[in-house]
Each structure stands twice: as C-alpha cells, then as structure tokens.
Amino acid sequence: MTAATHSSLFPQVPDSADAVLEGLDPEQREVATALHGPVCVLAGAGTGKTRAITHRIAYGVRAGILQPSSVLAVTFTNRAAGEMRGRLRQLGAVGVQARTFHSAALRQLQYFWPKAIGGSMPRIVDRKVQLVADAAAACRIRLDRGELRDVTSEIEWSKVTQTVPGDYAPAAAKAGRETPRDPAEIAQIYSVYEDLKRERGVIDFEDVLLLTVAVLQDRPDVAEQVRAQYQHFVVDEYQDVSPLQQRLLELWLGDRENLCVVGDASQTIYSFTGATPDYLLDFRTRHPGATVVKLVRDYRSTPQVVHLANGLLAQARGRAADHRLELVSQRAPGPEPVFTEYTDEPAEAEGAAHRIRELIDSGVPAGEIAVLFRTNSQSETYEQALADAGVPYQLRGAERFFDRPEVRKAIAALRAAARFGGNDHLLDDAVDLPSQVRAVLSGEGWTPEPPAGSGAVRERWESLAALVNLAQDFAAVHRRAGLPDLVVELDERAGAQHAPTVQGVTLASLHAAKGLEWDVVFLVGVAEGMMPITYAKTDEQIEEERRLLYVGVTRARERLHLSWALSRSPGGRPNRRPSRFLDGLRPGSTGTRGRAAAGGTGGVERGFPAARSGPSGSGSPRRRLRSPARCRVCGRTLTDAGEMKLMRCDDCPSDMDEGLYERLRDWRAGQARRSGQPDWCIFTDRTLMAIAESSPEDEYELVRIPGVGRRKLGRYGADVLAICAGREPAGEQERD
C-alpha cells in the first residue's frame, strides 16, 4: 500500500460524495470527477492509480451519477479485483462489479448459454496440459514435460491473439516467437487439441473469452441485454490487454464511450503472452474526444529511487518509450541506491544475505524486504544463503528449488546412480564427481549448451544446470567426495529450506513482483546475459527487458540495492559485466544519451467532442477536433510520437539540411556542458531534425515545431533562429 493510499487499517466510510474526493491530489481528483465520455489515465508506478479509479467509481455512485449495478470494473488478477472490491466497500460504493476479464466473461457465458446456444454449458477442462499431451500423442509427436508446457503456452497465445491452427506458423513467424517445436507440428497439435475438446465436450480457459465474444457478435439481443446492464466500464492495467480481451471490451461497449482505462506502457512486461500496449497508446486516436490524465506524483518511492527509475527510461527506445512518464517523488529524501560488484554468484548471494541480516537486526521487518531476480532458477543460491544466515524467507510465484519436479527427479536419478552406479554405462567414462553428475543429468535433459528461447524448456535446463554447478562447487571443496556424499549434501540443503513463511524475506522473479512493493529491494544478477536475458535478441525484446528492470526498481520504497557478479563460480573467469541498462547510471560508468520524456509531467488533456446540432447561438462554443497528423510526404496518418515531431514517416525521404543539423547539435552540446545537464534536456535529436527540416524563419514557425514549446522558445529561441539564418548565436558572440 502506498503512502498515497494508506490512512488506517479500517478507514471510516466517507459521509458524502464530496468527502470521497478529500485527500486526492489535483490529477487524481481530475480522474475521480471525469465521469462522462472516454477517459485515459496514464499512471506511473506508485502514483496511486487504484486510489484514483476506485474514488472515481465511488464518487460517481455517491453523487448519484452512476448506478452501482451498471458499473463493471475489470482487472487482470483475482487479487487486484479483490483489492478493488474492498476499497469500494470502504468508500461506500457497494454493489459495483469488480472482476477479471475471465470472471466477467464466464459469468455472462453461464447466464446466456441456455438462451444463446442451448443445453448445459460444457465443463472447463481442469488440466489443459494433459489434453495437449493427448493431442500430441494422436499426432505421433513426442513431447517432454518442458516442451509440453511450452506448446500449451503457444496454443494459449494463439487463442488470445485470435489465431486459428491453419494460421499459426505465419503468425508466429511474424511475431518473432521462439517456437519450442517446428511450427507445423505445433499447428497440427493445436488443430487436434481443438478436435479433442469437441469430442470430449469440454472447453478451456481461453474458450471462455472466445465463446463470449462469439455469442455477443452473433446474438444482438444478448449483446443489448449485456449493454443494458453495464453502462460504465473501467479497465485497469490496460497496457496488458490482448487482442481477444480488447475485442470483448468493444462488444461490451457497443457504440458508447463511457470507458475509463488506466495503464502505463513502461510497465508492459507480458508481451510473450499476447499482451500489447498498442490499445493504450492508440486510445486518443480511437477516441479523439478522450480526456487524458497523467499521474506522475510518486507516493511510493524516495527521490533517489525515482531518479534511478527515470534514468532507466530516459535511455529507452521504441514506441512505449516515446510515451513514458517522468515520475516526481512526493516522499522525503532517502539513501542513494547501492551498486555492488561481486567476484562470483555465491559471494553475491552471501553479500545480499549479510546485508539483509543486518537490516533485520536493525529493526526492519523481514516482510518488508525482497530479493528480486530475472529467472526462477536463480532462487536456489539465495534460498541457501538466507538459510545459512538464519533469515526466514518465502518464495512468491515459484516453487521452492528442491520442490520442482525436474529437481526431484534429477536427485532421484543421482541417488540411484550413487547406489548402483557400477552397473550404469553412463558413468563408464566419468572420472570425477562433476563428470558423473553431468553424465547422470544428461539422461534427464541437461546439455552443455542451453536451449534456445525461453519458457519451460529453458527453466528446466536451468534447474538441472544449477545442480551441475552445485556439484562442481561441492567437488572443489570436498576433493574426495563421490555421488553418495553429494546426495547427502542435497538432502541436507533441502531440509534447511523449511523456513517460516510469515514475515519472511520475499524471493521472487521480476515478473512475479509486478504490483507489489517493499521498503527494501535487492535486485540481484543485474549483469549482461541475465538482464537483458541472453535470448532477448530483437530491439523489442531488449526494451521489454529494460521495462522489466524498471518494474523491479519501482518496487522499492526506501532502499534499493543492485548487484552483479563477474563470474558464475569461485575462481571462474571474471568475464561478465554489469547490465548495459546501468550505463550512465551507476557510479563510474558512462552511458548513451537519453531523451526527454514525451509528456513527462502530470496534467490533463481534455478531448472536445463534436458540437451537437442546436439552435443558432445556443450553448457555449466548442473547440473543433484537431485533425489527425499526417505525413507531409506520403499522407499517411501518424500515431508515433517521434514521427509526429517530424511530420513524416521514418521511412519517407528527408529534406533535412545536414549542415544545419550538425550546427544545431554542436550548439546543443555547448549548452548542455554549460548547464550541466544531458543534451536531450535542451532539445531531443528528433526536435533538432524537425528544426533542420523546416528551417524556421521566425518565432511563430519555431514554436509550432513539436518539442519546442513556449518555455524553450523563450530560453533558446533566439539562438536557434540565428543558427537557422546562418548567423552566430548571440550567446556565442558574447563569449567571443
């Protein structure tokens, strides 16, 4: 709970609609009172978005503007939906529906099934993986456990992106997906999977959305009944919607626009599941009359943490980066983030555990501390280090390392080899303990090189690789040890992990940490190959990794520790380096230039709906809708912020004066040196390109260029116009 939302454990219900608005900051109040038409809330991390939208609903209900039963608030997790319902009850807005997309769709599907389809609704399959396994067997395709989970994920992705089996292969290629098997094989399994569901009379989780969409599309009477029930919609975490969820939302809405969406493109970290921020970023294009409110007052984190978070995004690229928000901390100053380099991973884990032990001894509750890592396979080292330090911990979003099925099976194989190894031909050429372990685990799926891509196959390999590494480290200390000794060591380690979970330090992956926060956060393994992860190859994948680190940073309220190791194991070659994302941010490093945040300040942008017909002279005058920006070369409508600055597509030919552009860059560099701030704080590269392309002759032409504005016109306008006219800037003449 953030500082912006916390008052007491059981707050008193406000006694009036106006009382609901008390305590909201100006932007939150704008959200709460914008009850008509489309509203888009761009909410940075820790800015009180849940507070804003629950107070919006409560204010509308308490003021008599919204009927509780006519409001549907949609989010992505049962936890978030439950929290929203609880807050609404505390605000006196009883009767509002707050559900996940699937929960809301399932409820409607169950109600309308007899009328729209007839008979009883099919059972939702309990274990989709088993059905996929049966489909693979029918296709005579053998899948191991990891591949089975990955193929299941591919089928889920296909359904949420509304891709049928016949279109899977080209769709996967277009999306740049790392497929666990040949795409043709996955398409075949997908097709048979759908056949098996029909034969057995069952549906899966994704079918709930697909069937609800089908019913609403095919039965106008059902759609009208739903629309008569729900008049107002609120969608949280809108950057995470899939094409299928967006289609369902559109069918719920019909031709109405009583919609409020809330999101942050900089927290898009689930693209691999089919989520896309495009619907959030294109909201103003689809709804020209929308009111856009930006929440940037960060009530969660100290200025030091917020500064680092802003610095991460300042170096970002891509469409989401063009719409990022620059947070402004509302908290008192705290300690600077701590950057620590270790010689190897065990030393890093021990260092984190030692600092955590000190924090707990100084009075910090263990439950207010978290260790966040990129992959679940990293947890075992930290579990052991914390156990050795006597620190209680709990795992979130992942099984304990020794409870993972592949780990249990691998240890069973090692135990069997320890007992009967003399009869195992796999051990014939194994000369020492590490080679024996590698030989045994090769039969469980371990390979010298990691598999390509991500997902279950990769995680399974990482678990087995962790056992191989552990065996190497154990043998380095106990040179005469054999397999029986290692098995005893593994059993002892497994037993030492039985720590209390109440008030324990949280161990979690960065994905599992989304939506949570702690006083102290340790971000570990922040090194190249892990952050960004090795298999992130494309620019889009790299930027999602940056956003994932941003999510991790913004989980911290007061203290933030970032660390990395130069080698994997003690005595190993120190060939690792800190993550590129920290370049220019950690002490002693240099980095690439960032860019000014597009719309990095809070505020409100109001839409202007088309004027209604009426008697001449009646009503107040309305501003005309701003026409869409179009490329001045090819005429295409522009939606990308960078292209809109240039007023042309990136691919269209430029008529930029290269000499003028270079003179502007030189001038900007001098300004940046003298003011002690980054180049982009003067003007971004895009803005300089736009100036060099248009070569403005006066202030009126200059201020019309996106990225200039009145403030920068007053500060730099004379210099820029002088350079455009081929003269020396006045400031330069004075220095000469």
The secondary structure of 596-615 as a DSSP string is --TT-S-EEE---PPPPP-S
| Three-state SS at 298 | strand
| Three-state SS at 41 | strand
Compute φ and ψ for 660, nearest 5 degrees. -65, -40
Q: How far is CA 413 from CA 400, 426, 483, 683, in A?
A: 19, 12, 11, 62
Question: What does the buried/exposed string (b/e) look like for 533-542 if buried means 16 or more CB atoms within 10 Å of the residue's CB?
Answer: beebeeebbb
Beta-bridged to residue 370, according to DSSP, are 506, 521
Apex 263 CA angle, 257 and 266, nearest 5: 145
Helix (H) or strand (E) segment spanning residue 293: strand 291-295
Provide the token pair at 41: 């809330």
Report whether the peptide linkage leading into residue 570 is cis, meaning its omega lies within 30 degrees of zero. no
49 labeled binding residue: yes
571 Ramachandran zone, left/alpha/beta (phi>0; psi -120 to 50): left
Provide the CB-side half-sphere exposure for 446 (13 A, CA).
Answer: 23
159 labeled binding residue: no
712 labeled binding residue: no
Distance between CA atoms of residues 265 and 269, nearest Å? 9
Residue 698 burial by Cβ neighbours in a 10 Å radius (0-12, 13-18, 19+): exposed
614 labeled binding residue: no
Compute φ and ψ for 706, nearest 5 degrees. -55, 135
50 labeled binding residue: yes
Number of alpha helices (DSSP H) and beta strands (DSSP E) in the chain: 29, 17
138 labeled binding residue: no
48 labeled binding residue: yes
Strand-pair category, 556-567 with 505-509: unpaired
Distance between CA atoms of residues 112 and 262, nearest Å? 29
597 labeled binding residue: no
Q: How far is CA 732 from CA 201, 629, 671, in A?
A: 79, 36, 10
CB 265 within 8 A of CB 238: no
Indicate the annotated binding residues for ATP.
43-50
Question: Which residues are part of a known binding site?
Answer: 43-50
